[in-house]
Chain A
Amino acid sequence: MSTPLIVGSVAYTPNVVTIWEGIRDYFANGPAEMDFVLFSNYGRQVDGLLAGHIDIAWNTNLAWVRTVAQTNGECRALAMRDTDTVFQTMFVTRTGSALSGLESLKGRRLALGSEDSAQAAILPVHYHQQAGLAEGDVELLRINSDVGKHGDTGRSELDALRAVMDDLADAAAIGINTWEAIGRDELMPGAFEVFWESPTYSHCNFTTLPTLSEERAEPWVEQLLAMDFDNPAHRPILEMEGLRKWVPPHLDGYDSLFKAVKQQGIPARW
């Protein structure tokens, strides 16, 4: 048996243990056995990847951008979830507040999630700048309640929604996963509505370095992509991780975040 590949992941919920034990079991006795290591935040995970402590990092989009920055673009993405290729940010307000389009945010208060969340902080600022809003046109209420996890817990986005409900903000920027989790605008009619939704962009991916040979990476990716939602043994893991199938990476989907990070002067490492 060859040495197993070591995959890093951030422990943003206790279920991460269940998910990765399931994935490890799936790879057991195959051509690309693996084990996993959990980190408390993405900063330490990327450090671990660069230091060679792990072979592959299950990275958010911001962690990917930072790894690219720290490796001068030499890192590579191996795969992502189908849901990672169509991620979106939703701008949400109270029903009936008459907001329409990003321009209508001028002079209003926008609640953002944790500062290292691409979907709830970095990209929302990028989008309203793209819409022609200058710094100061929108009063930003930053809610940094899960910094380090890049927004994975959803906590800061829920807090942003609470701020809207409590009239501390006029709108909130949240990921589409949080919008789905609260039942969109269908479960609580009259509570929230979306007044602008972003183009789709890419979210997480498995990131590795040139030190991992193609010879070792390829069988692992091939087996990963073979996980089958219709297979009862695979399905619970896929459901918990929030996908129907693993797919090759869509790197074009990171363009907006690369631009946003550059515009906002976000450092390559925290």
Chain B
Amino acid sequence: MVNHGLVLNLVERTGALPMGATVTVSLDEGDPEHSAELVAAWCARSGNELVEVRGHVAIVRRGRRPDPLAELAPDQVPGTRLWIYTNFDCNLACDYCCVRSSPQSPRRALGADRVAQLAAEAVDAGVRELILTGGEPFLLPDLDTLVATCTAALPTTLLTNAMLFRGRRLDMLKRMDPARLVLQISLDSATPELHDRHRGARSWERAVTGIRIAQAEGFTVRVAATLEPDRINELGPFRDFLDTLGIDRENQVIRALAHRGVAETGLELTVESLIPEVTITADGVYWHPVSADHDDQLVTRELFPLRDAITEVQRRFVEHRARADAAAQWFPCA
């Protein structure tokens, strides 16, 4: 039988807490399961929150914390944007690639049918933007079909290194809809040296040429640079250069290098430290595009129904935030 003193202890100990603070209470060692149910029932009734049950203790928060999803900016809510890895193979072998793409990487393509299903389900699941990335998507012979499926459903962004805009691939680009598609092109520096060091000889020159081609075809171009964390404050000359290319400041995206894939340094990114961006690959659903080749951030192997995958990512995010807040309460500074 459960010790009824447990409820008296809960009332007394939570009553002494500031709103939002947590307390750890011991459960009956003889019947922890029933005790935990009693704590949950008391929390539900009294307007407090059962954060977690671990073995023989329960962590209870005074009051209920706000919904972590409601605290995010609207475009940060997981599932607002859907990342889709179309292939993985690439014409470049960047030395910091977070998903280890290169010419030697085997193609792991989602294929037109699954991309079409994703685009269709995305609309119903509340996704507001699709983002296609490779490796290098222009290596796919049917990329224009994939993109057309996506742009018919939602505004879409296509990530590319812009080095393959000629011949058949330029024709594919011309068949894409500039009114519904933004091209996000990788460029790391205002001059070739840094960019080429990471991405290969003459890659800067060809990327800049690709930006101009895309602009000439009527596309909005967003430039995304990947920089080592200690260089992230040296942006003046780079931004000035992008200005001369006609890239709006709002389309100049600077991000820090992530210690993922083949990168030897960079920011350590974990599910606890990353707000998730639902990411689909041929292998499954991942927490974030920077970790789409890493099992530690695999959410599920089941791509469909997409709504379920998004719901699961959101559920885990809320759970991580609750744990992080509880941990912060356990280690006060004073």
Chain B: minimal CB distance from A160 (Å): 10
**Is A182 close to B, CB under 8 A?**
yes
Segment at the B interface, from A10-18, A74-82, A132-140, A222-230: A10-18
**B45 contact set on A, CB distance < 8 A:** 183, 187
Q: Pick the residue among A154, A188, A239 that contacts B7 (CB under 8 A).
A: A188
Q: Pick the residue among B8, B41, B46, B62 that contacts A161 (CB under 8 A).
A: B8
Q: Using A13-B15, A18-B18, A239-B47 as known contacts, say yes or no to A158 and B41 having CB atoms under 8 A apart.
A: no
Chain B: minimal CB distance from A7 (Å): 20
Q: What mask results when residues 146 to 181 of chain A are scored 1 for a CB within 8 Å of chain B, else 0?
A: 000000011100100110010000000000001001
Rounded to whole angstroms, the CA-CA distance of A178 and B8 in the bound complex is 10
Q: Pick the residue among B5, B11, B38, B62 that contacts A181 (CB under 8 A).
A: B11
Q: Pick the residue among B12, B15, B19, B42 that contacts A183 (CB under 8 A).
A: B42
**Is B4 close to A, CB under 8 A?**
yes
Chain B: minimal CB distance from A30 (Å): 25
Rounded to whole angstroms, the CA-CA distance of A18 and B18 in the bound complex is 8
B18 (CB) vs chain A CBs: closest residue: A14
Rounded to whole angstroms, the CA-CA distance of A153 and B17 in the bound complex is 11
Rounded to whole angstroms, the CA-CA distance of A178 and B17 in the bound complex is 16
Whether the pair A153, B15 counts as a contact (CB closer than 8 A) is: yes
Rounded to whole angstroms, the CA-CA distance of A15 and B17 in the bound complex is 8
Q: Pick the residue among B5, B7, B12, B19 that contacts A18 (CB under 8 A).
A: B19
The total of chain A residues at the interface (CB under 8 A) is 21
Chain A: minimal CB distance from B274 (Å): 30
Q: What mask results when residues 7 to 40 of chain B are scored 1 for a CB within 8 Å of chain A, else 0?
A: 1100110011111000000000000000000100
Rounded to whole angstroms, the CA-CA distance of A182 and B38 in the bound complex is 11
B62 (CB) vs chain A CBs: closest residue: A15
The total of chain B residues at the interface (CB under 8 A) is 19
Rounded to whole angstroms, the CA-CA distance of A268 and B251 in the bound complex is 73
Rounded to whole angstroms, the CA-CA distance of A158 and B15 in the bound complex is 11
Task: Find residues 212-270 in chain A having any chain B CB closer than 8 Å to their own CB.
Answer: 239-240
Q: What mask results when residues 1 to 43 of chain A are scored 1 for a CB within 8 Å of chain B, else 0?
A: 0000000000001110010000000000000000000000000
Candidate in A165, A188, A192 with the most chain B CB atoms within 10 angstroms:
A188
Whether the pair B38, A154 counts as a contact (CB closer than 8 A) is: no
Chain B: minimal CB distance from A191 (Å): 4
**A182 contact set on B, CB distance < 8 A:** 7-8, 11
Rounded to whole angstroms, the CA-CA distance of A155 and B45 in the bound complex is 20
**B19 contact set on A, CB distance < 8 A:** 15, 18, 240
**B4 contact set on A, CB distance < 8 A:** 165, 188, 191-192
Rounded to whole angstroms, the CA-CA distance of A181 and B14 in the bound complex is 11
Q: Using A165-B5, A183-B7, A183-B41 as known contacts, say yes or no to A15 and B12 having CB atoms under 8 A apart.
A: no
**A188 contact set on B, CB distance < 8 A:** 2, 4, 7, 38
Whether the pair A187, B7 counts as a contact (CB closer than 8 A) is: yes
Q: Which residues of B contact A (CB under 8 A)?
A: 2, 4-5, 7-8, 11-12, 15-19, 38, 41-42, 45-47, 62
Instruction: Show 26 residue pairs from A and B whose CB-CB distance is below 8 angstroms, ordered by the A residue.
Output: A13-B15, A13-B16, A13-B18, A14-B18, A15-B62, A18-B18, A153-B16, A154-B11, A154-B12, A155-B15, A161-B8, A162-B5, A162-B8, A165-B4, A181-B11, A181-B15, A182-B8, A183-B41, A183-B42, A187-B38, A187-B45, A188-B2, A188-B4, A188-B7, A192-B4, A240-B19
For the complex of A and B, list the 3 residue pairs with the smallest distance between their C-beta atoms, beginning with the closest.
A14-B18, A191-B4, A181-B11
Q: Which residues of A contact B (CB under 8 A)?
A: 13-15, 18, 153-155, 158, 161-162, 165, 178, 181-183, 187-188, 191-192, 239-240
Given A165-B5, A182-B8, 18 other A-B residues pairs in contact with their CB atoms under 8 A: A13-B18, A14-B17, A14-B18, A15-B62, A18-B18, A154-B11, A162-B5, A162-B8, A183-B41, A183-B45, A187-B7, A187-B38, A187-B41, A187-B45, A188-B2, A188-B7, A191-B4, A239-B47
